[in-house]
Structures are given as C-alpha cells and as structure tokens.
Amino acid sequence: MKTLKYAIIVVGFSQSLWLLSGCATTDKSRPVTVPAVVKMSKSERDDAARKVADEYMMNFVAAFRDKSIEKFKTVISPERRKELTAEKFQEILDASAREQGKLVDYEPVTVLDQGEFQSYVWKLTYEKLDSEKNPMRRDFLYYVRIGKLEDGRYTIGASGFRL
C-alpha cells in the first residue's frame, strides 16, 4: 500500500512538472510555420543535440538546487513562463521537497534513438527522511527529447519524469 501511495504521489508530481515543462506552443492568433524535424546524424546526436540536452538539464537541476525561478523559466514553454509567478514556483519547490526530497545527484544514463527525435535520459537521485527520520534515497528517470529542425536548429520536443 505504501508503494502505491508513493507511485500516486510521484505520478501526480511528475504530471504537474510535465504541464510546466511541456513543449512550447504558439499564440493561436498568429499563424506560424513550424520547420519540419529531420533525422540527425550520429555525430549531431552526440555533439550538438547532446549539448542542448545537457544545458537543459543543468538549468533544470540548478532551478531546484538554487531555488532559481530564472533557471526554471529556461526549461518551460514561453506560455508557461508568462503564467509562472514566484508563488507558483514556490509551490513547485515545496511539492518537490515534500514528495521527492532534495535532489542530491544526477547522471546521464543513455540516449534513445527514436527516429527524428533523440531522448536523453538521466537518473536523478533524491534524498529525504522517512517516517522514522532515517535518510532514504530514491532514483527517478528524467528525459529530454531533442529534434533537429530542417533549418539546423535543435528543439526540445518534450521532457519529464518517467517511472
């Protein structure tokens, strides 16, 4: 039962982060042409796209470690940035601390080749005290999905926690 409770909490928290860190949408009052996503080479995957994914993760980790709303804004869509207030950000920090604990480590795990997109996967390790005040560590998987646009830029297609 305790495991089910943790799973529900983690899924709920990850869904709230998914909403905040979802891929960018556009202002519907202006028509926008979106460049097509093209397959990237192995060297592009391992160099340029990896750099984009690493920068994203550094900002994501720094947002929680340093409690930096400015870093957090770099990993969410422009629409979510407009909606994000200091109070909402504090609620996100509080929920993360309460449900997952303190982020104590992160490390890259793998890259999943998914055709036009590459999913860079990290293991995030959190620590918090259990009900008996003993330190407890838990690992979570977090992914950043990168695509290469036909104009040569890289885009983040999605990101979030995976169980």
Query: Could you tell me which residues come within 8 angstroms of residue 163 by beta carbon, excluding any fewer than 6 positions away?
Result: 7, 10, 11, 14, 140, 141
Query: Who has greater pLDDT, 162 or 154?
Result: 154
pLDDT of the residue at 1: 46
pLDDT of the residue at 134: 95
Q: pLDDT tens, 70-101?
A: 999 999 999 999 999 999 999 999 999 999 99
pLDDT at 130 over 70: yes
DSSP state of 75: T
pLDDT of the residue at 35: 81
Q: pLDDT tens, 13-41?
A: 444 444 444 444 445 566 667 689 999 99
Q: What angle do CA 99, 101, 105 make, to 5 degrees?
A: 135
Distance CA 74, CA 78 (A): 9
Q: Are strands 117-129 and 102-114 parallel, antiparallel or unpaired?
A: antiparallel
What average pLDDT does range 123-136 have in this prediction? 95
CATH 3.40.720 is held by the domain 2-162: no
Query: Could you tell me which residues come within 8 angstroms of residue 121 by beta carbon, excluding any fewer than 6 positions away?
Result: 108, 109, 110, 111, 112, 141, 142, 143, 162
Query: Who has greater pLDDT, 131 or 33?
Result: 131
Distance CA 146, CA 158 (A): 8
Please, what sign has the CA dihedral across residues 83, 88, 93, 98? negative
Helix locations, 27-153, DSSP H? 42-46, 48-65, 69-73, 78-83, 86-99
Query: Who has greater pLDDT, 34 or 51?
Result: 51
111 membership: H or E segment, kind and range:
strand 102-114
Look over the chain and give the mean of its residue pLDDT values, rounded to a whole number.
Answer: 85
Distance CA 66, CA 107 (A): 18
